[in-house]
Amino acid sequence: MPGAVVRPACPVSAELPALHSESRAAAQGDAGAPGSGEQRGRRGAEGGMSQGPGAQPGPPSVYHERQRLELCAIHALNNVLQQRLFSQEAADEICKRLAPDCRLNPHRSLLGTGNYDVNVIMAALQGLGLAAVWWDQRRPLSQLALPQVLGLILNLPSPVSLGLLSLPLRRRHWVALRQVDGVYYNLDSKLRAPEALGDEDGVRAFLAAALAQDLCQVLLVVTKEVEEKGCWLRTH
């Protein structure tokens, strides 16, 4: 009898692959080069973790960039990767590569303030040897294998305000979720500080509430190995 089909073994947990200097330089662009004003923060009492411009001190060892212009896609990338790897200049270069012959680039704001689309996020992650997997909202969240996922990036509607005045408008906003030291955090760049969500049950509850809005979309940030083996999905 033919042998049973054996699914490739999945890694025990998700880990960010080591970045080659070329990949790091390409991701950072000119503004991300060392000595460009990047600040240094503390990682609790243990050591150092870079705090780029816009980053705010939060719970020990949690990197969190605050909102600037329409750069939520860049903030979400850096927050989910827990270090400043991407700059506006690097994102603009990705836009040019995605649409080299377009005078008006469709992947960013015409005003030059950001507002990058999902193609920029996916290309940025691919440049680091990572992948972004769309979560099918029809699946129960119990099938999401969180230990195999580096982090999550959500695209959801966000209210628009002008100073203290809230406008009856909704715009799309990128938000990162990431586990740090066993605790999941909402790293929304519009928050003053990271919001602790708790354990896996806590992040699933957050995702369920977000997906209930119907307009929310979820990207799983995973390694290439996890993407190829489908380890992000529980099959039993």
Judge whether 59 and 196 are in contact, CB under 8 Å. yes
Strands 217-223 and 151-162: antiparallel
Measured CA to CA, the distance from residue 130 to residue 167 in angstroms comes to 37
DSSP 80: H
Residues 6+ apart with CB under 8 A from 25: 33
3-state SS class at 147 = helix
Residue linked to tokens 């460009």: 36
Catalytic residues: 72, 173, 188
Judge whether 203 and 220 are in contact, CB under 8 Å. no
Measured CA to CA, the distance from residue 67 to residue 161 in angstroms comes to 13
**Per-residue tokens: 179:** 């586990």
Measured CA to CA, the distance from residue 50 to residue 39 in angstroms comes to 7
Measured CA to CA, the distance from residue 79 to residue 176 in angstroms comes to 6
